[in-house]
Amino acid sequence: MTRPPGSEPVAIVTGAGSGIGKATTLALLADGWRVVLAGRRAEPLAEVVAQAGASLAQALAVPTDVADEAAVQHLFAQAVERFGRVDLLFNNAGVFPPAALLEDLELTEWQKVLDINLTGMFLCLREAFRVMKAQTPQGGRIINNGSTAAHVPRPNSLAYTATKHAVTGLTRTAALDGRKYGIACGQIDIGNAATELAARFSTGVMQADGTIATEPLMDVSAAARTVLHMANLPLEANVLFSTVMATRMPFVGRG
């Protein structure tokens, strides 16, 4: 989409250095958005910017640990300083830990997953509210990355599944609380996108009955295009929940 220079909407994408975050960042930049890329490591963020061929007027990479309150505040401050506002937050950063028996799950591993997948998402959500409430014109859009695990679990995935169920609560509450500020909040639940994290599904993962089976994957661009569709809606409309998944993955009927 062609927009006059300086009028392009501004997005923050967390977890932008790989996987779904990278694919979505590339899609937004190709569509004419200005994008602030957040991720724990600077090098992958720089590689995404280079791959997109984006200029300093289009993209800003800000290394960020989303579980760190000060780092999240710095991320949004940098976005506003460079581009003047924030129109979209794709709240995407997360970890997918190895499978673990519930009774063997260490507290430190549980806490790590909660810190990134839930607390990190809350911190970004809260900062987006603060910025979008204060800017003129007021408002914006937040898209939280849930998962098909927000609906049904995989075996031995307690921490991950708990956080993704909790993301649904964040989304519903933010959609309600954002109304008065013109902030639309929705959630995308993605299943079996072909990323580094999901590569093992194609070689065999445990099913609900204890067997090991391969699962089909979809191209990650399908998830990115879905986020882009949600992002480009007028603020008077909101996709509250969207599920995009490999057609033949064993999700419907899982368990």
Mean pLDDT by 10 residues, the chain (255 residues): 73 97 98 98 97 93 98 98 98 92 95 97 98 98 95 93 97 98 98 87 88 93 98 98 95 69
> Does any domain span residue 2?
no
Predicted local confidence at residue 1, as pLDDT: 55
| Calpha distance 72→38 (Å, rounded) | 9
**Are 92 and 13 in contact, with CB atoms under 8 Å apart?**
yes
Active site residue 160: yes
Domain range for 37: 10-245
- CATH number of the domain to which 49 belongs: 3.40.50.720
> Does any domain span residue 251?
no
Predicted local confidence at residue 137, as pLDDT: 97
> Does any domain span residue 250?
no
> Does any domain span residue 252?
no
- The residue annotated as part of the active site, out of 160, 174, 201, 244, is 160
| Calpha distance 209→62 (Å, rounded) | 43
> Does any domain span residue 26?
yes
pTM of the full structure: 0.94
Predicted local confidence at residue 252, as pLDDT: 81
> Does any domain span residue 255?
no
* Total tally of structural domains belonging to the chain: 1
**Are 242 and 187 in contact, with CB atoms under 8 Å apart?**
yes
> Per residue in 59-91, is it b (16+ CB within 10 Å) or e — as a string?
bbbbbbbbbbeebbebbbebbbeebebbbbbbb
> Does any domain span residue 254?
no
> Does any domain span residue 230?
yes
